[in-house]
Amino acid sequence: MFRCKVCGKESEEISKTLSICLGCIRDKWDDALPFVKNAHTMSRKRFGLPVKPPKDGVPCGLCVNNCRIPENDVGYCGIRTNIHGKIKSRVDENAVVECYYDTLPTNCVSMNFCSNKDLGYPHKNLAVFYCACSFNCLYCQNWHYRNLLKNLKPVMTPEELAGMVDENTKCVCYFGGDPTPQITHAIKTSELIIKKNDNVRICWETNGSMNKNMAKRMGELSTKSGGTIKFDLKAWDENLNIALCGVTNKQTIENFRFLGEYSKNAGYHFLIASTLLVPGYIDKKEVESLSRFISSVDNKIPYCLLGFYPHFYMDDMPLTSKKQAYECLEIAEKYLKNVRIGNLHLLG
């Protein structure tokens, strides 16, 4: 049990790190904001990351954070830097990235909406894990990427990563962290892969915070290859997104709408949405707002509700309950035609 430092409410569904409840995030934001800032500052200092996007230097423009990076400093993501007035990656044309093979069918969130789900050994997916992120989710499931980013390794060129694709590789999925801070590397890699083998699908799992031009290029690569783009819609309420993830969701919402319209001309639904059901924070109201938004784009867009497992700075939280998951499912189904619960084994 933890007591909200704004209103005094006690609940096991209040994060000790965040130290404020959902009600205060929604209704008492000015009072809640100092605690939000403190939580994210503390979590980022541990890994030597900027506590907020820098605003006194050369503009980066790659993502929603709109960093202006001083000479020899880094952006919010920790990978973009300013060298002699030019914004580039700290590892030049390369990326801090890991990759591994998953035998198909894999456990991809988009699995149920992909024809590759019927493929088995020796067919495989190349999972590409980019070690940087434009968000700062306090419940990050893959938080270890921050250690790899801090050490700037392992590093791969686009050519080396594309060379991991062989005759049995049927799809490549970029995730992380998030592909956004190193999106130019992912795009170059994808172009090399498609040139080498046009039967490989290019897929993405992302927070959707990249600039619109990059979102468009992702859409082009996925539609050309028959792949998917899965947006992790963290929250609908902007303040709640900031509280949980440190960053606004405005660019995510705009890109989702843009790619949703783009998808209608692709001949199939390449756009997919998911939301992690964080106990005490992502409630029925959030899921209803997100479902209504997705439906306004296209009610046939698949939507996956994911069970939460305690991680990183929210490791004191409970699992998502079956009650919460199925109530959210029932609400989402009022607006959308393709909804499912993922990570059923995690439900408490």
pLDDT digits (tens, 9 = 90+) for 5-51: 999 999 999 999 999 999 999 999 999 999 999 999 999 999 999 99
Task: Give the chain's length.
Answer: 348
Task: Determine, yes or no, domain membership for 221.
Answer: yes
Residue 115: pLDDT over 70 = no
Q: With bands split at pLDDT 50, 70 and 90, how would you rate the model's confidence at 109?
A: low
Q: What would the mean pLDDT of 116-140 be, rounded to a whole number? A: 84
pLDDT in the model for residue 166: 93
Task: Determine, yes or no, domain membership for 157.
Answer: yes
Give the pairing of strands 58-59 and 339-342: unpaired
Task: Determine, yes or no, domain membership for 308.
Answer: yes
DSSP 312: G
Q: With bands split at pLDDT 50, 70 and 90, how would you rate the model's confidence at 121?
A: very low
Provide the domain count of the chain: 1
Task: Determine, yes or no, domain membership for 48.
Answer: no
Whole domain around residue 223: which residue ranges? 94-346
Task: Determine, yes or no, domain membership for 209.
Answer: yes
- SS3 string, 174-205, reads EEECCCHHHHHHHHHHHHHHHHHCCCCEEEEE
108: Cβ–Cβ under 8 A, 6 or more apart, which residues?
102, 114, 125, 173, 203, 205
* Token representation of residue 42: 């503390």
| Range of lowest pLDDT (112-121, 163-172, 251-260) | 112-121
Q: How many CA atoms lie within 13 A of 280 on its CB side?
A: 27
pLDDT digits (tens, 9 = 90+) for 278-305: 999 999 999 999 999 999 999 999 999 9
Burial of 311 (0-12, 13-18, 19+ CB in 10 A): middle
Closest by alpha carbon to 286, among 298, 302, 272, 275?
275
pLDDT digits (tens, 9 = 90+) for 177-193: 999 999 999 999 999 99
What's the CATH number where 190 sits? 3.20.20.70
Task: Determine, yes or no, domain membership for 181.
Answer: yes
Task: Determine, yes or no, domain membership for 79.
Answer: no
Task: Determine, yes or no, domain membership for 20.
Answer: no
Question: H-helix or E-strand containing 348?
Answer: none
36-58 as b/e: b if 16+ CB within 10 A: beebbeebbeeeebbeebbeebb
Is 59 within 8 Å of 67 (Cβ atoms)?
yes
Please tell me the pTM assigned to this model.
Answer: 0.95
